[in-house]
Amino acid sequence: MGAFPSNIAVSAFRPVATMRRIQATHQPANMNRLAKFLPLENVVLGLTVTSKKRVFEQAGLIFENQNGIARSTVTDNLFARERLGSTGLGEGVAIPHGRIKGLKQPLAAFVRLAEPIAFESPDGQPVSLLIFLLVPEQATQQHLEILSEIAQLLSDTQARERLNKEENREALYQVLTQWQP
């Protein structure tokens, strides 16, 4: 009996559906808000595009293939938000985001470009690191907090350097999901 932690012994008797629900909602203490909405499958390294339009189209494909959201819906909503002002933050990073009708919870994707592209950022620098965020049409304070956390992550010089250099997708994913403000 001493060889097994008590939480495993207790959970072994829970129905499978209950265990799956617990696993789906459990977020380890060392994970940040982004971890809940950014699956590893939505992390793309070395994407080759030549413009903001093309990277938005590729983001549409990521969300369509991984999350079942029509790419045109994603692209249209990203451009609608971008028309209000560039989502480029400077220092080579951007957080394109949009509201999606019918979406139940936020979704994110991370893209590192093979070559930086023009993005109308405040500092005029081209962008190579992008975190895309889709939120439900009725955005809440939680969504603003997620955006704020992403902006803080991308403003962290050490984290940004690791995101630019890390070649292993799983290791890069850990940088994204375990970073703490």
Task: Supply the CATH number for residue 63's domain.
Answer: 3.40.930.10
Say if CB 78 and CB 56 are below 8 A apart: yes
- Given 33, 52, 97, 143, the catalytic residue: 97
Q: How many structural domains is the chain composed of?
A: 1
Q: Is residue 21 part of a domain?
A: no
In the chain (181 residues long), the average pLDDT of successive 10-residue segments reads 38 37 47 93 98 98 96 97 96 96 95 98 97 92 90 96 97 96 81
Q: Which residue intervals of the chain are DSSP H helices? A: 6-11, 16-25, 52-67, 71-83, 141-155, 157-165, 169-178
Comparing CA positions, the residue from 131, 137, 144, 103 lying closest to residue 38 is 131
Active-site annotation holds for 26 = no
Q: Which structural domain range is residue 90 located in?
A: 33-178
pTM: 0.82
Q: Is residue 39 part of a domain?
A: yes
What per-residue confidence (pLDDT) applies to 143? 87
Q: What are phi and psi of 117, to 5 degrees?
A: -125, 155
DSSP 92: T
Residue 139: the pLDDT is 73
Q: What is the pLDDT of residue 92?
A: 97
The pLDDT value recorded for residue 8 is 36
